Amino acid sequence: KLPDNAGTSVTVMDLDGYYLPTFNELKNHEEELRSIPDWQARDDDLMICTYPKSGTHWIWEIVSMLVKKKAERVSAVKETAMLEIMAKATLDNMPSPRVLNSHVYFEYLPKDFAKRRCKIIYAMRNPKDVAVSFFNHHSKICEYEFSGTWENYVQRFLKGDVDYGTWFDYTQKWEKFMADNPEYPIFMTTYEDMKQDPLRQVTRIAKFLEIDCDQAFLQEVTDLCQFDRMKKEKDALGEQVDAWKDGVPGMYRKGQVGDWKNWFTVAQSELFDRVYQERMKDSKVQPRFTL
C-alpha cells in the first residue's frame, strides 16, 4: 500500500491514503498526526503552508525575523516548528508568537486555528522546479534510502507517489480554500515572485503581518535571507549535517528558478505538460516556469 520508496517504506506513513514522512523519534507518531486537528491554537499563531520544496525555509526565516523585529540569523531550524513532525507537548511549550510551518492540507491543521482565524502564508512554486528539488531531497537525505532514477522519479511525482501526495491536489485544494473563504486572512506568494523581487515580497509579508518597521529593516531582512548568504550561514550552524549523505547539507541546494531545464529531457517535459494540462484543467493557477 505504501509507495515503493526504492527499498524504504519506514519513513513514509500511509494516513488513509495520504503519505506522510516520519522523520523524528516521536513515539505514536500516527496518533500524534491524527490528533493534530484537535490541537489548541493561539490567536497570534502564524502558519506557513507549502507543498514541499517551495521555499518554506526561506519564508520561515523571513517571517521569524519579521515577528521578532530583529534582522539577525535565526539559530533554530524550521523543522523545530513543523507541525507534523513535532509532538503536541513541544508545540504547547513554544513561546508566542509561534511561527509554524506545515506541508499538510488545511483539513489536517488544528481546527482551532481556523476558528481563531490565525494568519496563513501560502507559497507556491512551479512544479517542475519542485520535482527537481524534491528528487534531490529524496536522493540525498539518508533516511529515505532512496536510490531511484530521475526518469522514474518524474513518473512518481506526476502520480503523487511521493510523501505529501500530489502537487496538483495540494495546489488546487489551496486554490479552492482561498476561493471559498475570501475573508480568511491568507497571504499568497510564489517562489518565483520572491526570486524576482524579494524586497517587495518581504514588504508585502510584513504588511500582511502588520509589523511596524522601516524600510532599512525590511532591506536587512531581505539581504540576510538572500540565497548564498542564507546557505552559508545556515549550513555553518550545522543544519542537520548528519541527516545528509556524505555529511553535505543539501537543504539550500541551488535556489534558482528554471533549474528544471537542466534535468528534464524534452520528452519528460512534454509528458509533464500533458499531465499538468489534464490535472489542472479546472484551475486558474498559473505558475511561472521561468523568470
Residues in 167-226 that interact with ligand A3P by CB under 6 A: 225
Q: Which of 258, 286, 6 is nearest to 132 (CA)?
A: 258
Shortest Cβ distance from residue 169 to ligand A3P (Å)?
A: 17
In the set 68, 111, 207, 254, which binds ligand A3P (CB under 6 A)?
254
Shortest Cβ distance from residue 136 to ligand A3P (Å)?
A: 6
Cell 542537520 appears where? 240
Shortest Cβ distance from residue 276 to ligand A3P (Å)?
A: 18
Contacts of 196-201 with C-beta under 8 Å, sequence gap 24+, read: 196/291, 198/222, 198/225, 198/226
In the set 3, 37, 148, 255, which binds ligand A3P (CB under 6 A)?
255
Query: Phi and psi for 115 in degrees, rounded to 5?
Result: -60, -40
Q: Does 57 bind ligand A3P (CB under 6 A)?
A: yes
What Cα–Cα distance (Å) separates residue 62 from each residue in 136, 199, 253, 291? 24, 11, 18, 22
Cell 517587495 appears where? 200
Separation of alpha carbons 102 and 108, rounded Å: 10
Separation of alpha carbons 217 and 219, rounded Å: 5
Of the pair 161, 235, the CB lying nearest ligand A3P is at 235
Q: Which one from 29, 57, 103, 137 is the annotated catalytic residue?
A: 103
In the set 50, 189, 201, 203, which binds ligand A3P (CB under 6 A)?
50
Of the pair 44, 291, the CB lying nearest ligand A3P is at 291
Q: What binding mask, one character per residue, do residues 217-246 give for ligand A3P by CB under 6 A, x or -? A: --------x-x--x----------------
Q: Does 253 bind ligand A3P (CB under 6 A)?
A: yes
DSSP H or E stretch at residue 236: helix 227-236
Of the pair 112, 219, the CB lying nearest ligand A3P is at 219
What is the rounded end-to-end Cα distance, in angstroms, of the chain? 39
Shortest Cβ distance from residue 191 to ligand A3P (Å)?
A: 7
Whether 29 is catalytic: no
Of the pair 52, 160, the CB lying nearest ligand A3P is at 52
DSSP H or E stretch at residue 47: strand 46-50
Separation of alpha carbons 79 and 64, rounded Å: 13
* Chain residues that interact with ligand A3P, rule: CB under 6 A: 50, 52-58, 129, 133, 136, 225, 227, 230, 252-255, 259
- Any idea which residues carry the catalytic annotation? 103
